Amino acid sequence: MRKIDIYDTTLRDGEQSPGVNLNSVEKLEIAKQLERLRVDIIEAGFPAASPGDLDAVKQIASTIKNSTVTGLARSVRSDIDAAWEALRVAECPRLHVFIATSPIHMTYKLKQTPEQVVATAVDTIQYARKFFPVVQWSAEDAFRSDRAFLAHIVEQAIHAGATIINIPDTVGYATPAEYGALFKFLKENVPNIDGVKLSAHCHNDLGMATANTLAAIENGADQVEGTINGIGERAGNVALEEIAVALYTRQDFYKNIKTDLKLNEIKRTSQLVSTLTGMHIQANKAVVGKNAFAHESGIHQDGVLKEPTTYEIITPELIGETSNNLVMGKHSGRHAFQDRAKIMGFELDQEALNNAFKEFKKLADRKKEITNEDLWTILTNEQLKESDTSVFELEGVGVYYESSKDPSATVIVKNPDGEMVEMTTSGAGSVEAIFNALENVIGEEVHVLDYRVTSIGKGRDALAESIVNLSYRGEELTGRDSAQDVLESSAKAYLNAVNRSLLSTHIKELMKTV
């Protein structure tokens, strides 16, 4: 069997999606889930970007044992030094270093001649090999590069010590035939290419990332790079779950080609990434969308009832979309709750489980039936609790509303100094009134950039999940939280975003003392 390595860049390229900002705790939880999914390589971040990113990469590198952890670096020695600082604790330190190779990038971005670009690539690869046993080199915007030049710089990169060569379609410009042909060309025109592994990295600007990645595999790529749910800059990266399920489902075509992904962990991984990034999955998204296994047409429903394979080429169970007949409610005990948490893949200590059980009981008193989505939210929130520093905590929220008057809101918040602050303000709507009151409590200017509320599960008593994207202290931050009341969840999400800034500042201060 020919094995395709799965290289996940959700925590680096995926986090570059507009409005996404993950803290160290959230990054670590996603990394643990990627390890459960059996991803081969986890690109944990860009260590030189910030002290927070370096710290997150270091935490992931020291925790993850069954997947290789890597980080990104520009072709700059200081970037490589930062990556080594973060990754030296890893089981197998691995670096991903890149430089642009297309005429437009070399001319306008790098302002270097092709000869200078080759010299820079060679120098930084040789420098990186002093630290890292495995160095992956990427030709940024490879698809739009001159082929003869690309073949030449790839040859020099391999000679300098690169062990994996990545050929990205950085702006999603390629078609499948063209992208596959580029891999074939390099295989035939780079003399020393048989000694390295070729990797594909496709963006989805024209909606062809999955097709292009499969074309690369057909033409010699043994590693594919992408993200969970296809998140990433602009239109995103290739969705790794689509590649893995395509190779599995079409084994008749992709003979003797496989990945090591644990496919029944796909749904849980997708859900976690969606929740923590605040990027909801479109209903008709391939493999993981909520409509992926839904059938409305009468003809389709009839066919599926008679024989599922008439209209389903993928079973829900394949990706971990299973139903559980054990109903959880207010009469469910601690043992049943712990069993369900274990079945759902949560590894919480006893204190965290006890706290989660208390939240479950509170919800069960107000909600007739607790769904898996409810449990998943409760357990995830407990798993992600932080105690790194003091933050704002919502103690209470109330709204007074009459249709003929502007609504007013009162919030009670415990501030980072442990003091209880009560504030009442008005606004054009109930949510604006709450946000105005919270801004007054915080005492600094906060701009709300985006705000969304969705239901978790079904029914009028469903939990509400709120996502608030705001600007605070010059940073764009995304907060999320949930509650049965929409207004409460909105207030908690707002404070969650502000608290991210406080936690980020706390980490930076800690880094200065190290």
- Model confidence pLDDT, tens digit, residues 100-136: 999 999 999 999 999 999 999 999 999 999 999 999 9
Q: Is the pLDDT of residue 507 over 60?
A: no
Instruction: Say if residue 32 is in the same domain as residue 102.
Output: yes
Give the CA distances from residue 246 to residues 174, 243, 259, 391, 495, in Å, rounded to whole numbers and listed in that order. 20, 5, 11, 45, 41
Instruction: Say if residue 120 is in the same domain as residue 232.
Output: yes
Q: Is the pLDDT of residue 96 over 50?
A: yes
Who contacts 341 (Cβ-Cβ below 8 Å, separation ≥6)? Answer: 348, 353, 356, 375, 379
In a domain, 324, yes or no: no
Distance between CA atoms of residues 47 and 70, nearest Å: 10
In a domain, 153, yes or no: yes
Strands 68-74 and 164-169: unpaired
Q: Which amino acid is at 331?
A: H
Instruction: Say if residue 376 is in the same domain as residue 451.
Output: no
Q: Tell me, what's the pLDDT at 432? A: 96
Distance between CA atoms of residues 490 and 467, nearest Å: 7
Q: What is the CATH number of the domain that holds 95?
A: 3.20.20.70
- Tokens for 154? 């790839």
Choice between 373 and 149, residue whose per-residue pLDDT is larger: 149
Instruction: Say if residue 133 is in the same domain as residue 35.
Output: yes
Who contacts 505 (Cβ-Cβ below 8 Å, separation ≥6)? Answer: none
Instruction: Say if residue 83 is in the same domain as residue 230.
Output: yes
Least confident of 64-78, 233-247, 302-316: 302-316
Instruction: Say if residue 93 is in the same domain as residue 174.
Output: yes
Q: Tell me, what's the pLDDT at 334? A: 86
Instruction: Say if residue 112 is in the same domain as residue 165.
Output: yes
Q: Is the pLDDT of residue 394 over 80?
A: yes
- Tokens for 207? 């909606």
Q: Which of 318, 353, 383 is the last residue of a domain?
A: 383
Give the CA distances from residue 398 to residues 375, 443, 464, 488, 491, in Å, rounded to whole numbers and listed in that order. 26, 20, 17, 9, 10
Distance between CA atoms of residues 451 and 147, nearest Å: 46
pLDDT mean over 3-19: 94
Instruction: Say if residue 87 is in the same domain as residue 236.
Output: yes
Q: Let me know: does 183 contact 216? Beta carbons within 8 Å.
A: yes
Closest CA to 275 of 52, 84, 496: 496
Q: Is the pLDDT of residue 328 over 80?
A: no
Q: Could you report how far apart the first and last alpha carbons of the chain are, in Å?
A: 47
The residues that bridge with 413 in the sheet, in sequence order, are 394, 421
Instruction: Say if residue 204 is in the same domain as residue 347.
Output: no
In a domain, 314, yes or no: no
Residue span of the structural domain in which 485 resides: 393-513
Split into its structural domains, the chain has a count of 3
Q: Which of 229, 255, 277 is the last residue of a domain?
A: 277
Q: Is the pLDDT of residue 514 over 90?
A: no
Give percent of the chain above pLDDT 70. Answer: 92
Instruction: Say if residue 397 is in the same domain as residue 378.
Output: no
In a domain, 58, yes or no: yes
Instruction: Say if residue 193 is in the same domain as residue 54.
Output: yes
pLDDT band at 457 (very low <50, low <70, confident <90, very high): confident
In a domain, 301, yes or no: no
Distance between CA atoms of residues 394 and 466, nearest Å: 15
What is the secondary structure of 187-234 as a DSSP string? HHH-TTGGGSEEEEEEB-TTS-HHHHHHHHHHTT--EEEEBGGG--ST
Instruction: Say if residue 237 is in the same domain as residue 207.
Output: yes
In a domain, 329, yes or no: no
Residue 30 CB neighbours (<10 A)? 25
pTM for the model: 0.85
Distance between CA atoms of residues 175 and 254, nearest Å: 20
